[in-house]
Amino acid sequence: MAALFVIIFAVAAGFAFVVVMTVIVIIGVQQEERYMTLEHKTAPGSMAQLARIILGRYVRKEQRGTTGRGEPNGSREHSNSSTS
Protein backbone atom coordinates (compact mmCIF):
# COMPACT_ATOMS: atom_id res chain seq x y z
CA MET A 1 0.00 0.00 0.00
CA ALA A 2 2.85 2.39 0.81
CA ALA A 3 4.53 1.64 -2.50
CA LEU A 4 1.34 2.60 -4.29
CA PHE A 5 1.30 5.98 -2.53
CA VAL A 6 4.93 6.56 -3.48
CA ILE A 7 4.19 5.82 -7.14
CA ILE A 8 1.12 8.07 -7.12
CA PHE A 9 3.14 10.86 -5.49
CA ALA A 10 5.94 10.51 -8.05
CA VAL A 11 3.47 10.66 -10.95
CA ALA A 12 1.70 13.68 -9.44
CA ALA A 13 5.02 15.46 -8.82
CA GLY A 14 6.13 14.81 -12.40
CA PHE A 15 2.85 16.08 -13.78
CA ALA A 16 3.03 19.20 -11.57
CA PHE A 17 6.60 19.83 -12.78
CA VAL A 18 5.50 19.65 -16.42
CA VAL A 19 2.58 22.01 -15.78
CA VAL A 20 4.83 24.55 -14.00
CA MET A 21 7.40 24.45 -16.83
CA THR A 22 4.61 24.92 -19.39
CA VAL A 23 3.30 27.99 -17.55
CA ILE A 24 6.83 29.45 -17.34
CA VAL A 25 7.33 28.95 -21.09
CA ILE A 26 3.97 30.54 -21.90
CA ILE A 27 4.76 33.62 -19.80
CA GLY A 28 8.32 33.89 -21.15
CA VAL A 29 7.30 33.55 -24.79
CA GLN A 30 4.63 36.20 -24.30
CA GLN A 31 7.28 38.58 -22.92
CA GLU A 32 9.60 37.82 -25.84
CA GLU A 33 6.84 38.48 -28.36
CA ARG A 34 5.67 41.67 -26.65
CA TYR A 35 9.13 43.26 -26.66
CA MET A 36 10.39 41.42 -29.81
CA THR A 37 13.68 40.53 -28.13
CA LEU A 38 14.28 36.94 -29.21
CA GLU A 39 17.28 37.94 -31.34
CA HIS A 40 18.89 39.96 -28.55
CA LYS A 41 21.38 38.52 -26.11
CA THR A 42 19.45 39.48 -22.98
CA ALA A 43 15.92 38.41 -22.23
CA PRO A 44 13.34 41.00 -21.12
CA GLY A 45 12.75 39.25 -17.79
CA SER A 46 13.50 36.27 -15.63
CA MET A 47 10.58 34.24 -16.97
CA ALA A 48 11.76 34.86 -20.53
CA GLN A 49 15.28 33.79 -19.57
CA LEU A 50 13.92 30.59 -18.00
CA ALA A 51 11.83 29.96 -21.11
CA ARG A 52 14.96 30.29 -23.25
CA ILE A 53 16.77 27.77 -21.06
CA ILE A 54 13.85 25.33 -21.00
CA LEU A 55 13.36 25.48 -24.76
CA GLY A 56 17.08 25.41 -25.48
CA ARG A 57 17.08 28.74 -27.33
CA TYR A 58 20.50 30.28 -27.00
CA VAL A 59 21.12 33.28 -29.19
CA ARG A 60 24.67 34.36 -29.90
CA LYS A 61 25.14 37.97 -30.81
CA GLU A 62 27.10 38.10 -34.05
CA GLN A 63 27.79 40.73 -36.63
CA ARG A 64 25.08 40.70 -39.25
CA GLY A 65 27.16 41.71 -42.26
CA THR A 66 29.94 39.13 -42.17
CA THR A 67 30.35 35.40 -41.84
CA GLY A 68 33.16 35.72 -39.29
CA ARG A 69 35.98 35.69 -41.87
CA GLY A 70 35.37 39.20 -43.10
CA GLU A 71 33.31 38.10 -46.09
CA PRO A 72 29.76 39.23 -46.81
CA ASN A 73 27.10 36.58 -46.09
CA GLY A 74 26.41 35.74 -49.74
CA SER A 75 30.01 35.38 -50.94
CA ARG A 76 31.04 31.90 -49.89
CA GLU A 77 32.21 31.06 -53.39
CA HIS A 78 35.92 30.61 -53.85
CA SER A 79 37.46 33.58 -55.62
CA ASN A 80 40.54 31.67 -56.76
CA SER A 81 39.88 28.48 -58.63
CA SER A 82 42.40 25.75 -58.17
CA THR A 83 43.14 23.47 -61.11
CA SER A 84 44.22 19.92 -60.59
**What is the C-alpha to C-alpha distance for residues 42 and 80, in angstroms, rounded to an integer?**
41
pLDDT at 76: 52
| Block mean pLDDT (10 aa), the chain, length 84 | 95 98 94 86 88 79 55 54 54
pLDDT at 41: 77
pLDDT at 24: 95
pLDDT at 42: 82
Distance of CA 61 to CAs 1, 8, 21, 35, 46, Å? Answer: 55, 45, 26, 17, 19
pTM (global) more than 0.85: no
